[in-house]
């Protein structure tokens, strides 16, 4: 699963660290981003005896995304703005060092679209990498917490922020940018881990020199085959200069294949949310990217949602798994898009292998045409066709997607992916909006509601659950099993060699289910709603499972930002999320806590 020798990554040491399952050295547990752990001390038989071992309040309210890094004896955790980092001694649970950057809250917080979240730290070369909200990327000495270098990755005054987890590959650290709701043009940037010097930067849109696309060598899936994109593949899909404020931000999770030396990630929605204002495919927003790790040169790119009309931001994570599809082994990349389709592509070539709905309530497109790679849009749910100032009713999924930032896990034991999912639909009314630097550039009013349909059949069933936890076969594009959850599952899962999958719920439960059947084996109510990722590691001979709780993120924005006045008037607040998640406040309140679980001695 995790590939080949680490010749080229000697500098950072990350790959080596991830090969020891006692560590959790990168957001996905490994470069492939599978969130699979070889540990099996906690297993389907004994997980019912799990119990909290210790806990640690972070001192920060609002949404806590991401998870801990564990490098040998030390645990590293992070908080949302103000982005405090704690290095914690596992033995004593005492804070070895802490670091809180200086940031201007008044400039930064107002331009964070979806809560003041941070998706966690990066590690490499003896350094902890902190991606501050205000776009400053900071390297800290992992032993002392002393700042080694900082670099400005963007400008919050222009609506740029950062929420993603820095990703160390060889001697660079990769980071993206947020601000799709502020007309920010997305990019991926690689900085030297030793100095913070920019090594390369590849935009999501613009001239080929900006995107690092080679018209002849960079390919995409078209006419049933891998095809060179040709010149100006991005700018020719935009009206005039709109690509300059075109979105396609890169705030998700990244993967790396050391053998192919390619990094993978998705780009976000085109700006604005009003599709009528921006004719064209708006390439390469909403796309999967394969870039050379050394130069940023684009190997291939694939657009999931050309000319987005629903904010189906394409940034979701891209686990790398080798599997047999249609009788042939492929090095695949798997991607569960906000738009409700689960994609399997060949990660070497970008060949499209599978594209099926992982939630059958999805209705905005009938299917993906496997030849063109394009979704077949249903006119009734086309906010473009219905036009400005018309409310498109009942489009599924809602803008926050059949899945959002919460990363999936994969178990080689079952060959299944475990998807933390949303199960909502929406009403969406686009309106004309002018771009002003640093101001919201949204152009749509939304409300959201339960999908009310079965996830497997798509049949209306009057259900009110907003979440599903689904096991998926990416070789065939089929659901193996799916559990309902009252609220969206906004927490990243982890699958283990013990046959267990762990995830958190918005009410605050850490849950363990049987990887084969989905049967619930254990749950515990942590202090606050969980939007963090569950990670697992071993210390001193004992397996631990840990998760940050702390309600927030887009789903929890009503509570996190205190913008729910409790009446229908505020339903459209928080980009449409407040109404749908109102009842969440009966279950959980703000507060960041890290809870560590173990079996009794």
Q: Which tokens belong to 144?
A: 């002392």
* 65 contributes a contact to ligand PQQ by CB under 6 A: yes
Residue 52's binding partner among ligand PQQ, its own copies, none (Cβ under 5 to 8 angstroms by kind) is its own copies
Q: Which is nearer to its own copies, 61 or 471 (CB)?
A: 61
Q: Which of residues 214-253 bind ligand PQQ (CB under 6 A)?
A: 249, 251
Task: Please pick, from the candidates 276, 362, 368, 400, the single residue that binds ligand PQQ as defined by CB under 6 A.
Answer: 400
Q: Which is nearer to ligand PQQ, 125 or 311 (CB)?
A: 311
Of the listed 257, 311, 346, 454, which one is catalytic? 311
Binding interface with its own copies (CB under 8 A):
49, 51-52, 54-61, 86, 93-95, 508, 524-528, 549-550, 585-595, 600
Q: Which residues contact 256 (CB under 8 A, 6 or more apart)?
A: 31, 32, 167, 169, 262, 263, 264, 293
Sign of the dihedral defined by the CA atoms of residues 100, 167, 498, 481, in that order: positive
The secondary structure of 95-141 as a DSSP string is EEEEE-----HHHHGGG-BTBS-----EEETTEEEEE-TTSEEEEEE
Residue 163's binding partner among its own copies, ligand PQQ, none (Cβ under 5 to 8 angstroms by kind) is ligand PQQ
Helices (DSSP H) in 428-561: which residue ranges?
557-560
Q: Which tokens belong to 169?
A: 């590959």
Do the bridges between strand 36-37 and strand 494-496 make them parallel or antiparallel, or are there none, so unpaired? Answer: parallel
- CB of residue 134 vs its own copies: minimum separation in angstroms? 21
Q: Which is nearer to its own copies, 212 or 561 (CB)?
A: 561
Is-cis flag, bond preceding 397, omega within 30?
yes
Region class of 591: left (phi > 0), else alpha (psi between -120 and 50), else beta: left
Q: Which of residues 309-338 bind ligand PQQ (CB under 6 A)?
A: 313
Q: Which is nearer to ligand PQQ, 63 or 518 (CB)?
A: 63
* 356 contributes a contact to ligand PQQ by CB under 6 A: no
Q: How many residues bind ligand PQQ (CB under 6 A)?
A: 20
Q: Which of residues 105-164 bind ligand PQQ (CB under 6 A)?
A: 113-115, 117, 163
Number of residue whose CB is nearest ligand PQQ: 180
Q: Which residues contact 141 (CB under 8 A, 6 or more apart)?
A: 126, 127, 128, 147, 148
Q: Which tokens belong to 399?
A: 């803008």
In the shown chain, the binding pattern of residues 403 to 422 toward ligand PQQ, with x for contact by CB under 6 A and - for none, equals -xx-----------------
Q: Are 498 and 538 spatial neighbours (Cβ–Cβ below 8 Å)?
A: no
The secondary structure of 501-540 as a DSSP string is EEEE-TTSEEEEEETTT--EEEEEE-SS---SPPEEEEET
Three-state secondary-structure class, residue 259: coil
Q: Which is nearer to ligand PQQ, 33 or 258 (CB)?
A: 33
Residue 405's binding partner among ligand PQQ, its own copies, none (Cβ under 5 to 8 angstroms by kind) is ligand PQQ
Residue 54's binding partner among its own copies, ligand PQQ, none (Cβ under 5 to 8 angstroms by kind) is its own copies
Termini Cα distance of the chain:
32
In the shown chain, the binding pattern of residues 180 to 199 toward ligand PQQ, with x for contact by CB under 6 A and - for none, equals xx------------------
- The answer to whether residue 311 is catalytic is yes
In the shown chain, the binding pattern of residues 248 to 267 toward ligand PQQ, with x for contact by CB under 6 A and - for none, equals -x-x----------------
Q: Which is nearer to ligand PQQ, 181 or 454 (CB)?
A: 181
Q: Which is nearer to ligand PQQ, 181 or 351 (CB)?
A: 181
* 178 contributes a contact to ligand PQQ by CB under 6 A: yes
* 553 contributes a contact to ligand PQQ by CB under 6 A: yes
Residue 181's binding partner among ligand PQQ, its own copies, none (Cβ under 5 to 8 angstroms by kind) is ligand PQQ
Q: Which residues contact 567 (CB under 8 A, 6 or more apart)?
A: none
* DSSP H helix total and E strand total for the chain: 5, 40
Q: Which residues contact 340 (CB under 8 A, 6 or more apart)?
A: 357, 358, 359, 362, 364, 396, 397, 401, 402
- CB of residue 180 vs ligand PQQ: minimum separation in angstroms? 2
Q: Are 533 and 65 spatial neighbours (Cβ–Cβ below 8 Å)?
A: yes
Q: Which is nearer to ligand PQQ, 65 or 208 (CB)?
A: 65
Is-cis flag, bond preceding 82, omega within 30?
yes
Task: Please pick, from the candidates 36, 167, 256, 554, the single residue that binds ligand PQQ as defined by CB under 6 A.
Answer: 554
Site of interaction with ligand PQQ (CB under 6 A)? 65, 113-115, 117, 163, 178-181, 249, 251, 268-269, 313, 400, 404-405, 553-554
Q: Catalytic amino acids?
A: 311
């Amino acid at each position: 699963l995790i590939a080949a020798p680490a010749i080229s990554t000697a500098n950072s040491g990350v790959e080596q660290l991830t090969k020891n399952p006692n560590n959790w050295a990168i957001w996905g547990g490994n470069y492939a981003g599978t969130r699979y752990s070889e540990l099996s001390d906690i297993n389907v038989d004994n997980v019912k005896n799990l119990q909290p071992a210790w806990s640690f309040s972070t001192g920060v309210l609002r949404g806590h995304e991401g998870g801990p890094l564990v490098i040998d004896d030390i645990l590293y955790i992070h908080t949302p703005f103000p982005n405090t980092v704690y290095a914690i001694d596992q033995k004593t649970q005492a804070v070895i060092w802490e670091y809180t950057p200086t940031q201007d809250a008044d400039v930064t917080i107002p331009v964070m679209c979806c809560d003041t979240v941070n998706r966690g730290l990066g590690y490499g070369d003896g350094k902890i990498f902190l991606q501050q909200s205000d776009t400053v990327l900071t390297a800290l000495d992992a032993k002392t917490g002393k700042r080694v270098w900082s670099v400005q990755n963007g400008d919050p005054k222009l609506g740029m922020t950062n929420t993603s987890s820095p990703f160390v590959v060889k001697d660079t650290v990769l980071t993206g940018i947020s601000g799709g709701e502020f007309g920010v043009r997305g990019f991926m940037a690689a900085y030297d881990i030793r100095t913070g010097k920019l090594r390369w930067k590849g935009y999501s849109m613009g001239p080929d020199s900006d995107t690092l696309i080679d018209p002849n060598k960079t390919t995409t899936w078209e006419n049933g085959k891998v095809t060179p994109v040709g010149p100006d593949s991005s700018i020719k899909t935009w009206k005039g200069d709109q690509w300059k404020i075109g979105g396609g931000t890169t705030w998700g999770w990244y993967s790396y294949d050391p053998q192919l030396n390619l990094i993978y990630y998705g780009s976000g929605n085109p700006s604005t949310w009003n599709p009528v204002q921006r004719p064209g495919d708006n390439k390469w927003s909403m796309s999967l990217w394969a870039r050379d790790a050394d130069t940023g040169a684009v190997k291939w790119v694939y657009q999931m949602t050309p000319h987005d009309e629903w904010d189906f931001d394409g940034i979701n994570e891209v686990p790398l798994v080798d599997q047999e599809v249609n009788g042939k082994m492929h090095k695949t990349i798997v991607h569960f898009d906000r738009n409700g389709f689960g994609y399997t592509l060949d990660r070497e070539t970008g060949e499209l292998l599978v594209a099926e709905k992982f939630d059958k309530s999805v209705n905005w497109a009938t299917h993906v045409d496997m030849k063109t790679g394009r979704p077949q849009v249903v006119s009734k749910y086309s906010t473009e066709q219905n036009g400005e100032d018309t409310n498109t009713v009942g489009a599924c999924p809602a803008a926050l997607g059949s899945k959002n930032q919460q990363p999936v896990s994969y178990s080689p034991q079952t060959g299944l992916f475990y998807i933390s999912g949303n199960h909502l639909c929406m009403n969406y009314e686009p309106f004309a909006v002018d771009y002003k630097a640093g101001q919201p550039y949204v152009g749509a009013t939304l409300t959201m509601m339960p999908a009310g349909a079965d996830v497997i059949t798509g049949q209306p069933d009057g259900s009110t659950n907003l979440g599903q936890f689904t096991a998926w076969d990416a070789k065939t594009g089929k659901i193996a099993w799916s559990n309902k959850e009252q609220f969206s599952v906004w927490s990243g899962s982890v699958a283990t060699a013990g046959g267990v999958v762990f995830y958190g719920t918005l009410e605050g439960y850490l849950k363990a289910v049987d990887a084969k059947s989905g049967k619930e084996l254990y749950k515990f109510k942590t202090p606050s709603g969980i939007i963090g990722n569950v990670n697992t590691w071993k210390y001193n001979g004992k397996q631990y499972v840990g998760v940050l709780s702390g309600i927030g993120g887009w789903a929890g924005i009503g509570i996190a930002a205190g913008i729910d006045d409790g009446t229908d008037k505020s339903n459209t607040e928080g980009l449409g999320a407040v109404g749908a998640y109102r009842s969440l406040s009966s279950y959980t309140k703000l507060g960041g806590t890290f809870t560590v679980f173990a079996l009794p001695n």
